């Protein structure tokens, strides 16, 4: 018997794959940008250059889970270095943990547990509206367990995977109280594509007299490789604090189709945070 098994990164891997955390920003304060890395499924954030400011550090983390037995968490720092009015260098790294399962050719499940580390570097061009290109390596220690239909373990495997990530994102502010964000990433190890389109509206503190600023938004995420194709729709509540901290609560509905087995449809939820270190 020939076992056909490719190692798909399921929806939790493509996001904030998750777009886990898209930190909020106050548009009359130093704003934030976002870059994703589907190889680790993490999302990193970075500020837009507003003149040639001082370099600084920040942290970002989050977790996403869905009804398809998929989850992903990450945490790490980032460094921002403006070099001129419209240009900044962005570097980041994070530890991450991915878990998921999918139906294999035997009629059973293939379970994957994958801790890893990802680093990214890039160049951001623009101010109010900007474009970011980033790239970097990812390292994953993958534990794979293949089960037959009766639950018997057929094989287990533990090995390291090294890959490369390419990403691009764009940030557009139609007005001073709303935003459109688009992002695309490709990861070489699993030939995984991930993209997101989101819109958000500032729903309070328009004059920024208070310390908390809320946002509501809607998003679409499409992702996949030869093993899985997923489409997910959702909304989010984002709350930013004047200290440079942001928290986002996300959720919605997801449909996934697989190389083997039936389609899956169900909810997904996520939480993420960002903190600028002054």
Q: Which two tokens stand for residue 166?
A: 């390419």
Tokens 């939820």 appear where?
Answer: 269
Does 130 map to a domain? yes
4 falls within a domain: no
For 40, 91, 255, the CA distances from 44, given in Å and listed in that order, are 11, 9, 25
Q: What is residue 32's predicted lDDT score, i.e. its pLDDT?
A: 30
Q: Could you read off the pLDDT of 112-123 as tens digits, one per residue?
A: 888 989 899 999
Average pLDDT in the 90-98 region?
A: 90
Rounded to an integer, the average pLDDT of 215-221 is: 96
Residue 266 confidence (pLDDT) above 90? yes
Q: Which domain holds residue 18?
A: 11-277
Identify the band that residue 52 occupies on the pLDDT scale cut at 50, 70 and 90. Answer: low
* Mean pLDDT value of segment 42-57: 55
Residue 136 inside a domain? The answer is: yes
- What number is the average pLDDT over the span 180-205? 90
- The span from the CA of 203 to the CA of 164, in Å, is 39
Residue 66 within any structural domain of the chain? yes
Q: What is the pLDDT of residue 35?
A: 29
Handedness of CA 12, 13, 17, 20 (dihedral sign): positive
Residue 260: what pLDDT? 73
Tokens of 237: 């509540």
**Is 1 within a domain?**
no
Instruction: Pick 16 or 254 by higher pLDDT.
Output: 254
Is pLDDT of 14 > 50? no
User: What is d(CA 24, CA 80) in angstroms, rounded to the nearest whole number?
Assistant: 17
Is the pLDDT at 185 greater than 70, yes or no?
yes
List b or e across 96-125, with b for residues whose CB sees 16 or more CB atoms inside 10 angstroms: bbbbbbbbbebebbbbbebbbbbbbebebe
Which positions ≥6 away from 112 have C-beta within 8 Å? 7, 98, 99, 100, 101, 142, 143, 144, 145
CATH of the domain at 58: 2.40.128.130
Residue whose pair of structure tokens reads 């998921």 in the numeric block = 100
Instruction: State mean pLDDT over 196-225.
Output: 93
- Tell me which DSSP letter residue 227 carries: T
CB-based contact 5:104 (threshold 8 Å)? yes
The answer to whether residue 5 is domain-embedded is: no
Domain count, the chain: 1
CA distances from 220 to 22, 97, 181, 182, 199 (A): 14, 23, 11, 10, 9
The pair of structure tokens assigned to 187 is 């990861």
Residue 142's pLDDT is 85
With tokens 């995984």, the residue in question is 192
Confidence label for 191 from pLDDT (cuts 50, 70 and 90): confident
Instruction: Give domain status of residue 158, yes or no.
Output: yes
Residues 73/74/75/77 CA torsion (nearest 10 deg): -160
């Amino acid at each position: 018997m020939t076992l056909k098994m490719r190692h798909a990164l399921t929806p939790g891997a493509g996001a904030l794959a998750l777009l886990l955390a898209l930190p909020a920003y106050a548009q009359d304060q130093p704003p934030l940008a976002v870059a994703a890395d589907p190889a680790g499924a993490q999302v990193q954030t970075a500020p837009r250059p507003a003149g040639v400011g001082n370099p600084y550090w920040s942290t970002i983390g989050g977790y996403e889970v869905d009804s398809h037995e998929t989850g992903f968490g990450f945490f790490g720092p980032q460094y921002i270095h403006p070099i001129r009015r419209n240009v900044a260098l962005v570097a980041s790294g994070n530890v991450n943990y991915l878990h998921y399962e999918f139906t294999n050719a035997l009629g059973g499940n293939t379970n994957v547990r994958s801790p890893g580390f990802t680093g990214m570097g890039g160049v951001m061009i623009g101010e109010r509206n900007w474009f970011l290109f980033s790239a970097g390596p990812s390292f994953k220690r993958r534990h794979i367990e293949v089960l037959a239909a009766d639950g018997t373990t057929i094989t287990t495997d533990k090995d390291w995977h090294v890959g490369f990530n390419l990403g691009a994102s764009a940030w557009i502010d139609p007005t001073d109280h709303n935003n459109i964000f688009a992002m695309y990433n490709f990861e070489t190890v699993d030939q995984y594509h991930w993209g997101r389109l989101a819109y958000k509206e500032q729903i309070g503190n328009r004059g920024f007299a208070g310390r908390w600023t809320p946002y509501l938004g809607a998003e679409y995420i499409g992702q996949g490789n030869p093993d899985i194709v997923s489409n997910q729709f959702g909304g989010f509540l984002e709350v930013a604090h004047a200290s440079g901290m942001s928290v986002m609560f996300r959720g919605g509905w997801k449909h996934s189709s697989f190389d083997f087995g039936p389609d899956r449809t169900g909810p997904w939820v996520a939480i993420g945070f960002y903190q600028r270190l002054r």
